[in-house]
Amino acid sequence: MNSVSPSGAQYIGGVMQDELVENRRQQPMERQSSFGVRTPQTPDACREAAGEPDEMDKLKAKLMSAWNNVKYGWTVKSKTSFNKMSPVIVLGHSYLLNSEDEVERFRLAFVSRIWLTYRREFPQLEGSTWTTDCGWGCMLRSGQMLLAQGLLVHLMPRDWTWPDAQQLTDVDFEVFRPRSPVRAGGVPIPSFGSPRGSNTPEKSLPSIQHPRSSQKKRPECARDRQAEPIHHRLVTWFGDQPPAPFGVHQLVEIGKSSGKKAGDWYGPSVVAHILRKAVAKTSVVQNLAVYVAQDCTVYKEDVLRLCDLSLSQTPPDPDSQGWKSVIILVPVRLGGEALNPSYIECVKNILKLECCIGIIGGKPKHSLFFIGFQDEQLLYLDPHYCQPVVDITQANFSLESFHCSSPKKMPFNRMDPSCTIGFYAKNKKDFESLCSAVSVALSSSTEKYPIFTFADGQGHDYGLEGHSSNNTGPAAHILPPGRPGRSNNRRNSDEFVFL
């Protein structure tokens, strides 16, 4: 069993140390002669210094794009099985699939999540030849889904579901039937399986009218329909166009400040900071801030200074009681080279909380967005499916490719230990409740070290100047208080991309 503290992951300037080491390895060394004297740079070298791709880079990018577009452009359909005797947890909501009503509630809850995947044929990323993120952008897509879930909670009515989810009835999952009709919960459950062949690509999903759609009308359906313009606008913010504030073009541009570029590997900690900067940079989302925890610690005073409008020149919003809503992102490491089993129960309890908006992580070199679990398996949305770009500038573009109809599960023991956990608090009272509820969930771990902690005061109270989310001071080397530094020779499990 790995018994590594999550706080044992050392951070430098908000980026995991082993990730920075990897970045340095990837940087080209300065050309020198055998006597250490600089040699004159060629035009090609000048282009490299300016960040322009050379002909070899262009050829590599084209070949990799073509291969990845084929590799991820189709998928073999397979049904995911769910146990009707155990609850399915989805972002703080529980569904016991022992009746048709519960199956329908779960189906609507899952399909209503924003699903963001690889795209191809979008405008070329600046400073590169990439017109697709296929094969390398899965962690960025997972980060987009985490942020999108936070925005859904922030902007949409409580417990909102997509009214047009009825058209995506080809939901690939089945519920275990009891062996005996006299067993508890022995209600026959129809399987929402695919009538297509198992090798049919997902991109050819037809819209089939649900047989019960005319019979089942949720009371809040009219309210959800009225919120559709917000839903539509939210999706445009993640469009694959340079102006989209949370699109790949903007995220890659912001990532350059962390030494990343298009085609590079992105880890969950780096993506957390990219999302923070993207929200701070745009004006499309009002009354929302993103806080990124440092050294596995959420400093309450830092969150207060970030969110309390009375501490800034902005007039307080009476609806928010003078408090900005906040998305809290906590990069953690749940073990050494593999997940420490002692943290599994804790992760489950976190996903049971309504304030949790998901976890970005995955399995090694394969990023996923975790939104829940059943028994010993995680429920996730997978970005590894390459779809054609959608023109979000069209007034009535289709939302179908931004919602997934195929729930997938993965055993906890395959989860990569590097991940980022997301939470949302609408106001100050919610933040206080969040701190209390999450602290209880964290205490459920049998491991000596908690996944992360809440602390009063500010980061610099502990000698952490420059590491508060709302502070851009000089980088410092952070270690857990009272613990000496030690060498870290584990492999870099913060790499998710090329399979």
Catalytic positions: 138, 382, 384
Neighbours of 311 (CB within 10 A): 11
Decide if 294 contacts 467 (C-beta within 8 A). Answer: yes
- Name 333's Cβ contacts closer than 8 Å, sequence gap at least 6: 4, 6, 8, 9, 16, 417, 418, 419, 493
Of 4, 132, 110, give the one whose Cα is nearest residue 369: 110
* Per-residue buried b or exposed e for 238-258, using 16+ beta carbons within 10 Å of the residue's own CB: bbbbeebbbbbbbbbbbbeeb
12 to 272, 273, 465: CA distances (angstroms)? 14, 13, 12
Q: What is the DSSP letter of 197?
A: -
Angstrom distance (rounded) from CA 384 to CA 132: 12
Query: What DSSP line would sit under 82-138, residue for residue?
Result: E-TTSPEEETTEEE--SSHHHHHHHHHHHHTS-----EESPPPPTTS--SB-TTT-H
Angstrom distance (rounded) from CA 14 to CA 152: 27
Angstrom distance (rounded) from CA 403 to CA 112: 6
Angstrom distance (rounded) from CA 299 to CA 457: 6
Beta strand ranges found along 221-324 (DSSP E): 288-292, 297-299
- Name 439's Cβ contacts closer than 8 Å, sequence gap at least 6: 454
Neighbours of 186 (CB within 10 A): 14
